[in-house]
Amino acid sequence: MALGTGLIYDEQMMDYNLLWDYPECNIEKPERLSASYEKLKYYGLVERCIPLSFREAIEEEIVLVHSLDYIEAVKSTASMNVEELKTFSYMYNDVYFHPNSYHVAKVALGVTLQLVDAVMLGKVKNGMALVRPPGHHSQKSEACGFCIFNNVAVAAQYAKKTYGTKRILIVDWDVHHGQGIQYVFEEDPSVLYFSWHRYEYQQFWPNLKDSDYYAVGKGKGLGFNVNLPWNKIGMENADYLAAFFYILLPMAYEFNPELILVSAGFDAAIGDPEGEMCATPECFAHLTQLLMPLANGKLCVVLEGGYNLRSLSESVCMTVRALLGDPVPPLVGEMVPCISAMESIQNVRAVQQPYWNFLKNQDNMFIKDPNAKKLNPGIGEDDFQSSTVTTAKEKEVTTVSNVNKDFDEFMNSHMKKVLVLAPRVRTALGGCGEKLSKLDQCLQVEEKKITVEEVGILIRFGGSDCAYLKDEYLLSLGKIFPLIDKIMNREVRNGIAVSSILSSAAFAARYGTTVGASRVLLLLLGEDAISADIKEDEKILVVQMSGKQDEKKQSKYYIPICWKEDNEWDGDLLFLLFEVILPLAYGFKPELVILAVGSNIRIQEVSLAHLTHLLQVLAEGRILVISQASDLVETLVSSLLGDPVSATSSFILQQESAQVLMKLRQELKQHWKLL
Ligand code: X5A
Ligand code: ZN
């Protein structure tokens, strides 16, 4: 997959600004774009992207969302003087016009459509459009919240019309509710709109009831509008990730989009005067990477808000790095969502339950919130559960002001901490590359000779374990250990080996801890027995999925999951990944991930591809895959290289699996947090 990341930026979009004193609007200024672009240049990211040319949108495109009357009205501003512009602007809510506004709004929309074209036509794999004015608040006949034309809403209509795209996911991570997008697609099941936003029980702009979680769409579009209101400020990385894991990602996998548009406002990032949230820039790399395996990688990121120039520009860079496939920095800090966030998430799950399979078979109760009942009489008293989000933490009110003082200093030291260097080589092969189609993109690593003594010090053997010391065993470890060396030395990012013996993965994990990985996540898909010694090692978190229910005992660091005896495992493994494994892993913070895939597992190849893709958000992408079956290698290598996974059908969580999942989460709460 030679395609790259498209980037659109054009100086014309800096050619308008506020011409009078209007405090509500003075944060939306040209420097937002120049600062972002300068930072991209500074990090050498511009030259790694494919520049896309700009164009103006034409009327035929604008009318996909807006009325002719409104377009005419906007057009008329081009010849207005300041007094007239003022009067015109004040007809709307928090927006200003400038004589160039009409032209620039057409450019912002035009370049958004250029990006959609480039992605849909396969000229680039994904991309970002740095635009202003933003779009998501503007409506059919109304400018609003710095927005004139609704770039992303038009883009979605345009994709439907031009390419016949049947399912489009819009992820609106701007800190404001994109009510403009919601209104366009409320009744449209072909566009799934997800927005989280600062809400504070309707106290925050634009103060709409329509922004609350029970606005779930209308008519045919029921369940295709998803609002996640944040009722407190100071939301952190863990809160955003929890929203992805418990709502957006399972939903997106069930929806199976053909295209993803991101309304990317970075006012949801730390230091922003509007959002007052605390997510750090690298969080957006995680969000981006988590979306990348979907829609065959077709991801268009379009700038919306973001008013702290430092935070905005660093976040833009993090997003572009993720689009380019760079390893994402691990998230620092305790990964525990706060109670308020979990309540909102829980309420979204409850209200969306009728429309989504993955929620149907789980118990999702509304959490009492002071306004829910009053505002939504349809919810019965029985549907409520008093707040029992047990492992979440109380939000301290609030870290924002501490952060604001010396913000630049904080950012300087923070960005230094999270700077991650990509190893030159992405994927290394341990003797399994003979006839791979992507052989030339990988590094073949020589095996080395391993002795019984070397293995002996890694794991204490019980009597029957002596079988481990057979030649065959030493041979496969001879392929695996050099890969781990290279991964931990940052010579390569990830690696893959074929091993006929699955439990060699346990040795690999232990070996990893001896060569620099403080914590290793071992995800074992298959029946092989794991030595007791490993199960108790707090440096190695073992999650083992198997079809057999035997006397496997769970402990904090050993989590056996009996997954559907005798049945196909299908794609519901992914739901387990979102709702259990990733939340667990983000808390554990592994420095190396080992995925061991047994040959007798009943998981579709495409699910494995997604799994391999998604696990790379952990440990800076340091993952070693050990496959028992050699026929899976082609698929696994392609995932390790970051190639998009071809979208097949949507993934459905089966009822049986939902039970396992719920039970598991219950059990895990004893030991672990982010759950
Ligand atoms: C795109 C965007 C915010 C408007 C806030 C007005 N708009 N108070 O972030
Ligand atoms: Zn915003």
User: Residue 346 and residue 389: Cα distance in Å, rounded?
Assistant: 9
CA distance 364 to 16: 48
How many domains, in total, are found in the chain? Answer: 2
As a whole number, mean pLDDT of residues 80-101 equals: 98
Q: Whose CA is nearest to atom 1 of ligand 1?
A: 305
Is 97 part of a structural domain of the chain? yes
Q: Is residue 674 part of a domain?
A: no
Q: Are residues 437 and 351 in the same domain?
A: no
pLDDT, residue 406, reads 86
Q: How far apart are CA 302 and CA 526, in angstroms?
A: 42
- Best residue for ligand 1 mutational test, from 28, 136, 152, 176 (most atoms within 8 Å of Cβ): 176
- Domain finish residue from 399, 418, 437: 418
Cα–Cα dist 447/428, whole Å: 12
- Decide if 482 is inside a domain: yes
Please give the distance, rounded to the nearest whole angstrom, from the Cα atom of residue 26 to the centre of ligand 2: 14
Domain membership flag for residue 397: yes
Please say if 137 is a catalytic residue.
yes
Q: Which pLDDT belongs to residue 470?
A: 75
Interval 514-567: pLDDT, tens: 999 999 999 999 888 788 888 889 999 999 988 776 666 778 999 998 876 666
What whole-number distance in Å separates Cα of residue 268 and Cα of residue 307?
Answer: 10
Residue located nearest, by CA, to atom 4 of ligand 1: 145
3-state per-residue secondary structure call for 570-631: CCHHHHHHHHHHHHHHHHHCCCEEEEEECCCCCCCHHHHHHHHHHHCCCHHHCEEEEECCHH
Ligand nearest to the CA of 198: 2
Residues 396 and 443 in one domain: no
Q: Stretch 591-613: mean pLDDT, rounded?
A: 92
CB 612 within 8 A of CB 636: yes
Residues 82 and 181 in one domain: yes
- 10 Å CB burial of residue 499 (0-12, 13-18, 19+) is buried
Q: What does the H/E/C string look like for 400-438?
A: HHHHHCCHHHHHHHHHHHHCCCCCCEEEEEECCCCCCCC
CATH code of 352's domain = 3.40.800.20
412 and 508 assigned to the same domain: no
- Report DSSP letters for 369-403, one per residue: -TTHHHH-TTS-GGGEE-----S-BPPPTTTHHHH
Dist CA 130 CA 116 (whole Å) = 13
Please state the rounded mean pLDDT for residues 309-325. Answer: 98
380 with 522, same domain: the answer is no
Examine the pLDDT at 371 and tell me if it is beyond 70.
no
Q: Quick check: is 675 in a domain?
A: no
- Between CA 381 and CA 92 the distance in angstroms is 39
Side-chain half-sphere of 405: how many Cα atoms within 13 Å? 3
According to the model, what pLDDT value does residue 386 have? 53
pLDDT digits (tens, 9 = 90+) for 437-460: 888 899 999 999 998 888 877 877
Q: Which residues contact 81 (CB under 8 A, 6 or more apart)?
A: none
Q: Whose CA is nearest to atom 9 of ligand 1?
A: 305
Mean pLDDT score of the chain: 91
Least confident of 79-83, 222-226, 493-497, 605-609: 605-609
Residues 402 and 537 in one domain: no
Q: Where does a domain end: 418, 452, 471?
A: 418
Are 115 and 227 contained in the same domain?
A: yes
Would you state the pLDDT for residue 1?
A: 53
Q: Which residues contact 554 (CB under 8 A, 6 or more apart)?
A: 560, 667
Tens of pLDDT, residue by residue over 637-655, are: 999 999 988 877 778 888 8
**Percent of all residues in the chain with a pLDDT value above 70, rounded to a whole number:** 91
**Could you tell me the distance, in angstroms and rounded to a whole number, from the CA of residue 432 to the centre of ligand 2?**
49
Residue ending a domain, choose from 418, 438, 457: 418
Pocket of ligand 1 (CB under 6 A): 24, 94, 134, 137, 145-147, 174, 176, 205, 265, 267, 304-305
Question: Does residue 240 lie within any of the structural domains?
Answer: yes
Q: Is the pLDDT of residue 373 over 90?
A: no
Answer yes or no: do 408 and 444 share one domain. no
460 or 71, higher pLDDT: 71
Q: Domain check: are 223 and 205 in the same one?
A: yes
Determine the pLDDT at residue 403.
52
Nearest CA-CA partner of 205 in 240, 179, 239 = 179
What's the whole-model pTM score? 0.95
**From atom 3 of ligand 1, which residue's Cα is the shortest distance away?**
145
CA atoms within 13 A on the CB side of 511: 24
Q: So what's the pLDDT on residue 40?
A: 98
pLDDT by residue (tens digit) across 113-168? 999 999 999 999 999 999 999 999 999 999 999 999 999 999 999 999 999 999 99
Q: Is the pLDDT of residue 384 over 90?
A: no
Q: Examine residue 649 and state whether it is found in any structural domain, yes or no.
A: yes
Q: Which ligand gives the minimal distance to the CA of 197?
A: 2
* Neighbouring residues of the ion ligand 2, judged by CB less than 5 Å: 174, 176, 265, 267, 305
Look at residue 511 and tell me if it is in a domain.
yes
Q: What percent of the chain has pLDDT over 90?
A: 74
Nearest protein CA to atom 2 of ligand 1, as residue: 305
What's the token pair of residue 16? 């308008």
The predicted structure's pLDDT at residue 141: 98
Least confident of 308-322, 367-381, 482-496: 367-381
pLDDT recorded at residue 400: 47
Catalytically annotated residue among 137, 176, 177, 197: 137
Q: Cα–Cα distance between 594 and 616 in angstroms, integer?
A: 11
Position 636 pLDDT exceeds 50 = yes
Residue 345 phi/psi, 5° resolution? -60, -45
The answer to whether residues 413 and 319 belong to one domain is yes
Q: Give residue 441's domain range.
A: 425-668
Do 644 and 589 share a structural domain?
yes
Residues 414 and 438 in one domain: no
